[in-house]
Structure 1
Amino acid sequence: MLDGRDPRIDFFRGLALIFIFWDHVPQNPLAQFTVRNFGFSDAAEIFVFLAGYAAVLAYGKIARRDGMMITTVKILRRAWVLYVVHIFLLALLMGIVFFANSHVETRDLVHEMGLQYFLSNPQQALVDELLLRFKPNLMDPLPLYILLLMGLPLVLPALLRKAQWVLGLSVAVYLLAPWLQWNLASTDGGMWFFNPLAWQLLFILGGAAALHRPQVRDTRKLNRQPLFVAAASYLLITGVIALSWKWPQVHDAFMPKVIGEWLYPISKTNLSPVRLLHFLALAYVTAKLLPEIGWTRHWLARQSCRMGRYSLEVFCLGVLLAPLADMLNALGNDALAMQVFSALLGVGLMALLGAWLDFNKRLNRPVSVVPA
């Protein structure tokens, strides 16, 4: 099913961008309200899943209309744009962090942002940047998306015809990656923080969801649907566990040692199964609770939809705003009022960018002339 744009997708992409920005600002009190505080997954899962959903929704239409040759060219052209954006974004981020670090005396922002590698070995850092191996803090999602998008032409034809085969292969790679320690090399002998061989499963699941959206909604009461009850129960249990992390003594008191040894560590790099299951449960419950799109017409929802519609530009702005917000907080002696102000100001600027891009797009639309 490849018909139309679902505004709920844009809304949750925008919300994920807000959460990513808030989570990347140290000591931000509003980060206590992001999804990572109420379960095992966070905004990264939302971002990657919806990236796969949007990519397959867009390029699947093109493939069926114009064929895979044209589609492959357009996908690779988009990946090239993302690659160029990645290079320029990193250059801008380094400039901003060096500027912020010169104004903050109490902390080393260059070290905290993972930019010391550039200072110690600038020539190799530039080479690693071109090879997507040099990824300071805040920059990890973009190289992951570039790589997943570049791989889309290899799986899109099969995904359009036999999605279950692609899903089966994707699950196999996901399971084998941590077992055989498959990952890509990063700087200083490290590995990618987001292992693309594991995170590709979320991208593929998003694409499969775009192709097979349900046509008929189940009108039974949700509490009589076993799958919904199971998913909601899992969200409740994981939410309690995640909240208990804020109070280690409480967590140690009620968490059985055997379960703790099985559960931890919850790997983000390899997309731990409990993280994946938490996101899938969250997505399923959300889709069930919000089956209609009327609520996306409210003013606040429209701002998030607009940010999600221009997710690349808004994500890049959020990356650049995070160290500036951190600098403001440090200069304000980490006062609560300044922390809240910088967090809300950043979101306001991201919303303004979305509004400007939307306005600019409308200006560039061709005007239809009605003959006299």
Structure 2
Amino acid sequence: MLNGRDPRIDFFRGLALIFIFWDHVPHNPLGQITLRNFGFSDAAEVFVFLAGYAAVLAYGKILRRDGYWLASLKILRRAWVLYVVHIFLLAMLMGIVFFANSHVETRDLVEEMGLTHFVTHPQQALTDELLLRFKPNLMDPLPLYIVLLAGLPLVLPLLLRNTWAVVSVSLAVYLLAPHLGWNLRAIADGVWYFNPVTWQLLFVLGGAAAIHSSQPHPAQTPGRLRQPLFVAAALYLLLAGLLTLSWRWPEFHDALMPAALGDLLYPISKTDLSPVRLLHFLALAYVTAKLLPHDRWAHHWLAQQCCRMGRYSLEVFCLGVLLAPLADMLNALAGDALAMQLFSALSGVLIMALLAAWLDYNKCLDETLRTRAAHLTNS
């Protein structure tokens, strides 16, 4: 059975939302401590992997309990909700960016946010928006999630029945896509910045991890076969971190990086989820799962706030997208003063946490009212 809730899933999803917000605010000093500064992968990989994990965990349980068609109906209904949210979020984002741009004289925020297409071709932009081809900056993760979730009914039964076969097919598609040019159309660069044909592998791997974690496993002591894998993963994370830090000093990096290795390593594509990015995230996930226990730490107050944000990831993500250009505007008006940059970054996270707390309060209130209504009905 697919049941139970690992607090690490909500915690790291909430942490990824914070990192995404900080990464989306230009010149934000707290953006220097996010995941992308210490390795090849970043919060996007965390978000997509955990989206696959949570989706398979939830809808796999529904499929086994209520059957395939009801599970598929719920998945597609959720995908439709995400699509509608995407349309409204984009409209709100454009309004905020145009407002911010009218107050910032030193920069063109409309161009920086990729909204020029709407200014020059508004009618075509509206059509492209409905077809998920018009995706300004900050908006890429949500259309990716919509497409991946909409395709879940095609693979969920097979994933539950023969996990490794689905992972193998997904891996083959991932390897073929960059060479065959498989991607979806979009304006600007012509293709999706997050290629769904390659990023689907991470979504599938998240689902496979959910299935694996839900199955009973006999108690095992650390064996010799597991130790080399952990050491190899940790060493890869260390080397990737050192290499990423060396990018801050190009002369130092160029002096130490062999030309042959550089030609093999670069460019590290985020669009097609470069293998070194994928391996870095998998190594990070494996090491974290081995080092971090399931509970104890989750009772800490700060961890609980982060977990709550992770439980309401859609609402918190949308709010973060809208807060990022406002924080950028405040920073620009203050001349990018350090105090304002820190204030806007921390205030944004506080507002996101307050939204999650308010949503959680309303959910608990609704459950209490339903319980009382059921008690009165029975009595």
Q: Distance in 1 between matches of 2:142 and 2:226?
A: 41
Q: Which amino acid aligns with 1:65?
A: R
Q: Which residue number corresponds to residue 262 of structure 1?
A: 264
Q: Distance in 2 between matches of 1:216 and 1:107?
A: 59
1:188 to partner: Cα distance: 4.6
Are 1:86 and 2:90 counterparts? no
Identity across aligned pairs (percent)?
A: 74
Whether the aligned pair in 2 keeps the contact of 1:28 and 1:339 (CA below 8 Å) is yes
Q: Which residue number corresponds to residue 53 of structure 1?
A: 53
Question: Over residues 280-316 of structure 1, what are the superposed CA-to-partner deviations in whole Å (9 max), with x where a residue is unaligned?
Answer: 0000000000132221110000011000000000000
1:5 to partner: Cα distance: 1.1
Question: Over residues 26-72 of structure 1, what are the superposed CA-to-partner deviations in whole Å (9 max), with x where a residue is unaligned?
Answer: 00000000000000000000000000000000000000000000001
Structure 1 segments of 4+ aligned residues over 6 angstroms from their partners: 221-224
Whether the aligned pair in 1 keeps the contact of 2:6 and 2:294 (CA below 8 Å) is no
Q: Are residues 237 and 194 of structure 1, via their aligned partners in 2, closer, same or farther at CA, if it must alter by over 3 Å?
A: same
1:250 to partner: Cα distance: 1.1
Whether the aligned pair in 2 keeps the contact of 1:222 and 1:228 (CA below 8 Å) is no
Taking the TM superposition and a 5 Å limit, the aligned residue runs for 1:101-120 are 101-120=101-120
Taking the TM superposition and a 5 Å limit, the aligned residue runs for 1:96-245 are 96-188=96-188, 190-213=190-213, 215-216=217-218, 218-220=220-222, 225-245=227-247
Q: Which amino acid aligns with 1:80?
A: W
Alignment gaps of 5+ in structure 1: none
Question: Over residues 162-217 of structure 1, what are the superposed CA-to-partner deviations in whole Å (9 max), with x where a residue is unaligned?
Answer: 01110011001000100101000001561000000000000000000000117356
Whether the aligned pair in 2 keeps the contact of 1:104 and 1:330 (CA below 8 Å) is yes
SS in 1 for 2:40: coil
Taking the TM superposition and a 5 Å limit, the aligned residue runs for 1:33-72 are 33-72=33-72
1:219 to partner: Cα distance: 4.0
Q: Are residues 14 and 216 of structure 1, via their aligned partners in 2, closer, same or farther at CA, if it must alter by over 3 Å?
A: farther
Q: Which amino acid aligns with 1:287?
A: A
Question: Over residues 317-365 of structure 1, what are the superposed CA-to-partner deviations in whole Å (9 max), with x where a residue is unaligned?
Answer: 0000000000000011000010011000000000000000000000000
1:8 to partner: Cα distance: 0.8
Whether the aligned pair in 2 keeps the contact of 1:329 and 1:335 (CA below 8 Å) is yes
Q: Which amino acid aligns with 2:205?
A: L
Q: Which residue number corresponds to residue 8 of structure 2?
A: 8
Whether the aligned pair in 1 keeps the contact of 2:113 and 2:137 (CA below 8 Å) is yes
Whether the aligned pair in 2 keeps the contact of 1:101 and 1:108 (CA below 8 Å) is yes
Are 1:286 and 2:270 counterparts? no
Whether the aligned pair in 2 keeps the contact of 1:266 and 1:274 (CA below 8 Å) is yes
Pick one of 321, 326, 349 that aligns with 1:347.
349
Whether the aligned pair in 2 keeps the contact of 1:59 and 1:75 (CA below 8 Å) is yes
Q: What TM-score do you get using the length of structure 2 for normalisation?
A: 0.96
Q: Distance in 2 between matches of 1:340 and 1:223?
A: 46
Whether the aligned pair in 1 keeps the contact of 2:147 and 2:196 (CA below 8 Å) is yes
Q: Which amino acid aligns with 1:279?
A: F
Alignment gaps of 5+ in structure 2: none
Q: What TM-score do you get using the length of structure 1 for normalisation?
A: 0.97
Whether the aligned pair in 1 keeps the contact of 2:183 and 2:195 (CA below 8 Å) is yes
Q: Which amino acid aligns with 2:168?
A: G
Q: Distance in 1 between matches of 2:328 and 2:237?
A: 32
Q: Which amino acid aligns with 1:318?
A: G
Count, aligned residues: 372
Taking the TM superposition and a 5 Å limit, the aligned residue runs for 1:310-329 are 310-329=312-331
Are 1:367 and 2:371 counterparts? yes
Q: Which amino acid aligns with 1:261?
A: D
Q: Distance in 1 between matches of 2:155 and 2:227?
A: 33
Q: Distance in 2 between matches of 1:218 and 1:245?
A: 41
Deviates more, 1:225-234 or 1:205-214: 205-214
Q: Distance in 1 between matches of 2:353 and 2:323?
A: 13
Whether the aligned pair in 1 keeps the contact of 2:90 and 2:139 (CA below 8 Å) is yes
SS in 2 for 1:100: helix
RMSD: 1.5
Whether the aligned pair in 2 keeps the contact of 1:223 and 1:229 (CA below 8 Å) is no
Whether the aligned pair in 1 keeps the contact of 2:195 and 2:271 (CA below 8 Å) is yes
Q: Distance in 2 between matches of 1:293 and 1:218?
A: 19
Q: Distance in 1 between matches of 2:254 and 2:272?
A: 25
SS in 2 for 1:87: helix
